[in-house]
């Protein structure tokens, strides 16, 4: 009992300590400064990383994820991931024991939309600060959270990274110059493929068309810049758009 109390005290400043708690769903809340990097690591528990405010840029499962305020990233136990903060980020995390009923829905890495009901449940559990023995309210909040997480809609901001080295070369080049308006024929030549082979292979490996992939990349970059207070007119020009309105129209279409 004394050990658990000590872990809970340290848990207010240590996510590692929180994961040692006996709770099936343990909570952790913290605010991070712009530019903070949680370098590559994994957890013995499933994790929900929820951005209450600000924006996180994450790498996990071979995919880049933009996680703006109102969204969360589910990271399965044992999956390596890295998270970078864009702007000040108010974070609420849940660490879920894989043996918990309902945790089987968290074995896929994905970004999800946190609707108001789920946001309220998470906030209420975080405010309780991991009490032990577990009171009925905390138990029921945990159960409801897992039910709502399992039903949460996916966020449209995943950026899968293809396995084919030729397609990776194209993606890397576009990441370095996201405002490039070169045609698909240009990118097919860079990949050493015909236009038809390039578009078909890209769709197969990334799960979306090259044009959609480029839009998501630009959307992620714009969201990070916006979170850091950049002028969107300047961001639009850097990303190859004639105006701020054109950039925002693309972002609305993606999101």
* pTM score: 0.82
> How confident is the model over 13-38, as pLDDT tens digits?
478 899 999 999 999 999 999 999 99
What b-and-e string marks burial along 52-81, b requiring 16 or more CB atoms within 10 Å of the CB? Answer: bebbbbbbbbebbbbbbbebbbbbbbebeb
Q: What is the DSSP letter of 155?
A: P
Pick from 141, 153, 161: nearest CA to 70: 153
Average pLDDT on 92-109 reads 96
Average pLDDT on 175-204 reads 95
> How confident is the model over 226-238, as pLDDT tens digits?
988 999 999 999 9
Pick from 216, 143, 134, 135: nearest CA to 175: 216
| Cβ partners under 8 Å of residue 111, min gap 6 | 65, 66, 67, 71, 72, 73, 74, 154, 155, 157, 158
Alpha carbon distance 76, 217 (integer Å): 24
Q: What pLDDT score does 255 carry? A: 81
Tracing tokens 């903070």 back to the chain, one arrives at: 36
Q: What is the DSSP letter of 103?
A: G
Alpha carbon distance 67, 145 (integer Å): 19
Q: What is the mean pLDDT of the chain?
A: 91
> How confident is the model over 57-70, as pLDDT tens digits?
999 988 989 899 89
Six token digits for residue 40: 């590559």
Tell me the three-class secondary structure of 161-224, residue by residue.
CCCCHHHHHHHHHHHHCCCCCCCHHHHHHHHCCCHHHHHHHHHHHHCCCHHHHHHHHHHHHHHH
- E strand or H helix at 143: helix 136-151
Alpha carbon distance 96, 100 (integer Å): 7
């Amino acid at each position: 009992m004394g050990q658990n109390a000590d872990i809970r005290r340290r848990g207010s400043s240590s996510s590692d300590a929180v994961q040692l708690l006996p709770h099936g769903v343990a909570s952790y809340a913290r605010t991070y400064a712009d530019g903070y990097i949680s370098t590559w690591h994994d957890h013995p528990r499933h994790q929900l990383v929820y951005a209450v405010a600000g924006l996180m840029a994450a790498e996990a499962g071979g995919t880049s994820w933009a996680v703006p305020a109102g969204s969360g990233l589910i990271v399965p136990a044992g999956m390596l991931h890295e998270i970078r903060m864009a702007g000040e980020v108010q974070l609420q995390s849940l660490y879920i024991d894989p043996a918990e009923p309902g945790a089987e829905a968290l074995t896929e890495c994905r970004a999800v939309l946190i609707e108001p009901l789920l946001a309220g449940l998470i906030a209420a559990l975080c405010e309780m600060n991991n009490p032990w023995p577990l009171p009925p309210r905390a138990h029921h909040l945990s159960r409801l959270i897992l039910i709502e997480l399992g039903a949460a809609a996916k966020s449209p901001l995943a950026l899968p990274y293809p396995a084919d080295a030729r397609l990776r070369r194209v993606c890397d080049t576009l990441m370095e110059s996201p405002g490039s308006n070169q045609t698909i024929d240009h990118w097919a030549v860079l990949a050493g493929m015909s236009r038809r082979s390039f578009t078909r292979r890209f769709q197969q490996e990334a799960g979306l068309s090259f044009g959609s992939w480029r839009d998501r990349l630009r959307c992620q970059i714009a969201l990070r810049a916006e979170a850091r207070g950049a002028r969107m007119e300047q961001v639009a020009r850097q990303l190859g758009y004639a105006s701020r309105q054109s950039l925002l129209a693309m972002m609305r279409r993606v999101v």
